[in-house]
A and B are shown apart, each in its own frame.
Chain A
Amino acid sequence: NAGVTQTPKFRILKIGQSMTLQCAQDMNHNYMYWYRQDPGMGLKLIYYSVGAGITDKGEVPNGYNVSRSTTEDFPLRLELAAPSQTSVYFCASSSDGLNQPQHFGDGTRLSIL
């Protein structure tokens, strides 16, 4: 009964390094989302996907890339890490867009130093 699984839970990166945040869901959901949450702020949508092979930008996509080659996986790529990308990242999924609630993973806490 895993739901949405995010790895890693914590990561420290140096400026300019790259990394991929992994997200996997086992609920056969079509919709998947990536959010970031900065201290004292709400969640802001980075990218989302309505199905395999389809992705679209959210509110704050700059500095990130995504792909959706399978229904289960939705990795988020940081190519050139910057201190402004220090945040907690949440992945979520839902079966049918916003007519169904989103199920969230437990987050990845990322620090860029």
Chain B
Amino acid sequence: DQQVKQNSPSLSVQEGRISILNCDYTNSMFDYFLWYKKYPAEGPTFLISISSIKDKNEDGRFTVFLNKSAKHLSLHIVPSQPGDSAVYFCAASVVVTDKLIFGTGTRLQVFP
């Protein structure tokens, strides 16, 4: 039972344009959501997070949107840069459990 789903295994975007990565979840108890970025042969690095009491969080070029009624969150990257090419993981948790549930990842390729 995959509680956190990233249905697009890959995404290709031209440099300068917007990248939109999507994530769906099934557990309505999740109250904290994160995005991690992973380069090959490295560990994931934290990108941005959002609490369930918010519907948007912004950090520079990165914005995360949360739609609780649809159980959907998305990561927007504007403008996309070649250095953004990586695998992006969505993760969710019920904070009091101290456990993160990860999606399967979306590989983003930003081309010139």
Query: Hey, which bits of chain A sit against chain B, CB under 8 A?
Result: 4, 31, 33, 35, 40-45, 48, 50, 58-59, 90, 92, 97-99, 101-107
Instruction: Please determine whether A104 and B95 come into contact, CB atoms closer than 8 angstroms.
Output: no
Instruction: Please determine whether A42 and B4 come into contact, CB atoms closer than 8 angstroms.
Output: yes
Compute how far the CA of A109 lies from the CA of B60 in the bound complex, rounded to whole angstroms.
33
A-B pairs under 8 A by CB, number: 56
Query: Hey, which bits of chain B sit against chain A, CB under 8 A?
Result: 4, 9, 32, 34, 36, 41-46, 49, 89, 91, 93, 95, 98-105
Compute how far the CA of A101 lies from the CA of B42 in the bound complex, rounded to whole angstroms.
17
Instruction: Please determine whether B100 and A102 come into contact, CB atoms closer than 8 angstroms.
Output: yes
Compute how far the CA of A4 lies from the CA of B42 in the bound complex, rounded to whole angstroms.
12
Instruction: Please determine whether B46 and A43 come into contact, CB atoms closer than 8 angstroms.
Output: no
Q: What is the chain A residue whose CB lies nearest that of B98?
A: A97
Across the interface, A101 reaches (CB within 8 A) one of B9, B46, B103, namely: B46
- Knowing that A31-B98, A45-B99, A102-B46 touch, tell me 20 more A-B residue pairs with CB under 8 angstroms: A4-B43, A40-B9, A41-B104, A42-B4, A42-B89, A42-B101, A42-B104, A43-B89, A44-B102, A48-B98, A48-B99, A58-B99, A90-B44, A92-B43, A98-B32, A101-B49, A104-B43, A106-B41, A107-B42, A107-B43
